[in-house]
Structure 1
Amino acid sequence: MKDVYITRISKFLPNRPVDNDLMEKILGIINGKASKARRIVLRNNQIKTRYYAVDDEGQVTHNNAQLTKEVIELLCDEEFTTKDIELLSCGTSSPDQILPSHASMVHGFLKNRNMEINSVSGACCSGMNALKYGYLSVMTGQVANAVCAGSERTSSWMKADVFENEVEYLKELEDSPILAFNKEFLRWMLSDGSGAVLLQPEPKGETPLKIEWMEGYSYAHEMETCMYAGGDKLPDGHLKPWSEYPAEVWGKKSLFAMKQDTRLLGDNILVKGVDSLKLAYEKNNITPDDVDYYLPHISSYYFKQGLYDEMKNQGIEMPWEKWFLNLQKVGNVGAASIYVMLEELVNSGKLKKGDRILLHVPESARFSYTYAYLTVC
């Protein structure tokens, strides 16, 4: 088995930063009234700016595959070109279409060469699982290099017109035309962007990072769905897919909007996260003392103190001085968040040889968690 190193890293955040006052203008106002939920969500998540792949008039500037193509081209130069890539592994929770796969569409935009591709579906963990596929492929010698990416383009899923049919339907029923909080919750948290890394079996580049190990855990066997799109959650917890609804109902129920069961989220995301973190620590025989930089992907600063407290309660407290976050500046970029966070740390000038980095990515879709442990070479 070969050692595997992150030898290059890049990020692509489209257009200019969007502040809290501008976001509703870009995404659109639903039913002609400013959102009341927006203030509540923003107060809790503490996000100040985020990025949208739409312009100030709401016109799309990039689709998801184009965001990924852009970040991969930023990863490359004359020394390592897109034609040198042997494996392309991409993860996202917001593909542009059901078929073809996301990685296939990215490959189409790159127009580089015949190569292996891998598409990972899911939510935030999809970016890490794309990384793990590349990591294992390079480690086993299947390929000499791999480019792994995480990306999201959720802004178009959150635009007002996605919800207009539902609002009109509620009016017809003489019901209050206000969206349920679980549909508005994510609208004020999510951001667009992409991140990518190059994996190679030698420690090249200015700040190569050796991947020591990666771990993943799922609690879907005991937890019902929490975050979802393309279906509707029934009172008994069952997720009914869009394909089992008549086409005329799709818009009336905003079936293709992302939704979050906030009750399930608050009750379980931190407890399961720390439980899985303990499993990763025990399996790899490390403790918080063996971590110099802790990069947790959190969707909201509302969970920051709670995560710290839960780690303390379970006996694996992570000192605050080891935490590295950038949520306030870039928003929740889902599968790309951990790439964007790591890119900022690598380019911060803080890292020195021997530093150890722990990546911690939760996914609330049905409660999955992925981890990576890196050493600066």
Structure 2
Amino acid sequence: MYKSKITGVGHYVPENVVTNHDLSKLMDTNDAWIQERTGIKERRHIKKGDGNSTSVMGVKASKIALERANLTPNDIDMIVFATLSPDMYFPGGGVQVQEMLGMRTVPALDVRNQCSGFVYSISVADQFVKTGMYKNILVIGAENHSGGLDFTTRGRGVSVIFGDGAGAVVVSRSDDESGILSTHLHSEGKHKDELALDGPSTGYWVPEIIEDNPQENIPYYPYMNGQFVFKHAVVRFAEVINEGLEANNFTANDINMLIPHQANLRISQFIQKKMRLSDDQVFNNIQKYGNTTAASIPIALSEAWEAGKIKDGDLVVLAAFGSGFTWGSVIIKW
């Protein structure tokens, strides 16, 4: 068995900043209400004409990650692309990235695990590298939420939370002692309807939506049972983090940097307090970007690394929980 290691990180967010005050002009909300419930102050949204899309942002983040890994697109053996907001219903974003980067005919795999998508994707890349099948894998998490949100008072419970952006890492074969130590994945499908988007889909095509639903009940906007999701998230986050630590004979005290999925600052703060971690042991940037779903962990990982908060030899833990419900963790010796 080979070892796998993250050798390059990168991220990209649109230049267009949307503050809570900006949203208050579109719906019945305000800065205090949003910050109290989510911790979010602003987020980035794609702006019409800026040339961005889910795949384009993924490419921009990937170029930075490749440069930092001292690799070119032709060095990549596989793409794993995580998103819930692809440019097209099909094909997925992976092949678009492959084309835009001018890569050879490598496999491209799309992962649809929403907020847990990046953790699942890292696990996939880790296994392909460790078994010796591939040497360098490009893993991307990218989202364009702003194009599919309800920016009226009806949709404020969801729409104030989400933002656009992308993050990417290169997972490479390594002979070092450092690297990805283990990954841990779970799901609980009985709660699939508590955080979901019904259509458009094969069960809810556009003509059916228009014909069968009044305008005030459009099922192609996301639905979230916020309190229910929160209660489950804080339990599963702690469980899967501890599962990873125990599998590698570590405790919470050994964590140098925990990067949780940026779902809600209150969730991160709850987990930090529950695990008795200091502010220096947890990285949050949801205040600036909102919840970018599959992109949130790689964006945060890239920012933390750029800020010097992750150093060689550090124990880094990634953890996510989201729609499905799905959740997971990654334990890394950086």
TM-score computed with the length of structure 1 as normaliser: 0.79
Counterpart of 2:147 (choices 156, 178, 186) is 156
Question: 1:122 corresponds to which residue?
Answer: 113
Does the residue aligned with 1:223 lie in a helix, a strand or coil? Answer: helix
Question: 1:254 corresponds to which residue?
Answer: 218
1:45 to 1:156, Cα distance in 2 relative to 1, 3 A: same
Aligned residues of 2:259 and 2:317 also touching (Cα < 8 A): yes
Off by >4 Å, runs of 4+ in structure 1: none
Question: 2:52 corresponds to which residue?
Answer: 62
Name structure 1 gaps, 5 residues minimum: 164-177, 233-238
Counterpart of 1:194 (choices 138, 159, 166) is 166
Does the residue aligned with 2:191 lie in a helix, a strand or coil? Answer: coil
Question: 1:359 corresponds to which residue?
Answer: 318
Question: 2:91 corresponds to which residue?
Answer: 100
How far 1:76 sits from its partner (Å)? 3.1
**CA separation in 2, counterparts of 1:275 and 1:44?**
24
Does the residue aligned with 2:114 lie in a helix, a strand or coil? Answer: coil
Question: What does the per-residue CA deviation read over 1:90-127, in whole Å, with 9 as the maximum and x for residues that have no partner?
Answer: 10121122211221232233232211111001211112
Question: 1:41 corresponds to which residue?
Answer: 34
Amino acid at match of 1:334: T
1:266 to 1:125, Cα distance in 2 relative to 1, 3 A: closer
How far 1:130 sits from its partner (Å)? 1.6
Identical counterparts, % of pairs:
20
1:319-334 aligned within 5 A:
319-334=278-293
Question: What does the per-residue CA deviation read over 1:75-102, in whole Å, with 9 as the maximum and x for residues that have no partner?
Answer: 3349522122110111012112221122
Amino acid at match of 2:305: V
1:269 to 1:349, Cα distance in 2 relative to 1, 3 A: closer
Does the residue aligned with 2:89 lie in a helix, a strand or coil? Answer: coil
State whether structure 2 residue 178 is matched by structure 1 residue 214. no
**CA separation in 2, counterparts of 1:250 and 1:99?**
25
Aligned residues of 2:84 and 2:113 also touching (Cα < 8 A): yes
1:209 to 1:337, Cα distance in 2 relative to 1, 3 A: farther
Question: 1:373 corresponds to which residue?
Answer: 331
**CA separation in 2, counterparts of 1:126 and 1:198?**
16
Counterpart of 2:156 (choices 184, 208, 214) is 184
Q: Alpha carbon RMSD of aligned pairs, Å? A: 2.8
**CA separation in 2, counterparts of 1:88 and 1:224?**
27
Question: 1:266 corresponds to which residue?
Answer: 230
1:255 to 1:61, Cα distance in 2 relative to 1, 3 A: farther
Aligned residues of 1:38 and 1:188 also touching (Cα < 8 A): no
Does the residue aligned with 1:99 lie in a helix, a strand or coil? Answer: coil
Name structure 2 gaps, 5 residues minimum: none
**CA separation in 2, counterparts of 1:345 and 1:203?**
25
1:304 to 1:274, Cα distance in 2 relative to 1, 3 A: same
Aligned residues of 2:236 and 2:321 also touching (Cα < 8 A): no
Aligned residues of 2:260 and 2:268 also touching (Cα < 8 A): no
1:35 to 1:294, Cα distance in 2 relative to 1, 3 A: same
1:163-312 aligned within 5 A:
179=154, 183-202=155-174, 210-220=179-189, 222-231=190-199, 241-243=203-205, 246-248=208-210, 249=212, 252=215, 253-309=217-273, 311=274
How far 1:348 sits from its partner (Å)? 1.5
**CA separation in 1, counterparts of 2:175 and 2:289?**
29
Aligned residues of 1:37 and 1:185 also touching (Cα < 8 A): no
Question: Which structure would you say has the larger Rg?
Answer: 1
Amino acid at match of 2:18: V
Does the residue aligned with 2:331 lie in a helix, a strand or coil? Answer: strand
TM-score computed with the length of structure 2 as normaliser: 0.88
| Number of matched pairs | 331
1:254 to 1:80, Cα distance in 2 relative to 1, 3 A: same
How far 1:63 sits from its partner (Å)? 1.4
**CA separation in 1, counterparts of 2:307 and 2:28?**
37
**CA separation in 1, counterparts of 2:314 and 2:277?**
16
Using the TM superposition, name which of 184-193 and 297-306 deviates more: 297-306
Does the residue aligned with 1:185 lie in a helix, a strand or coil? Answer: helix
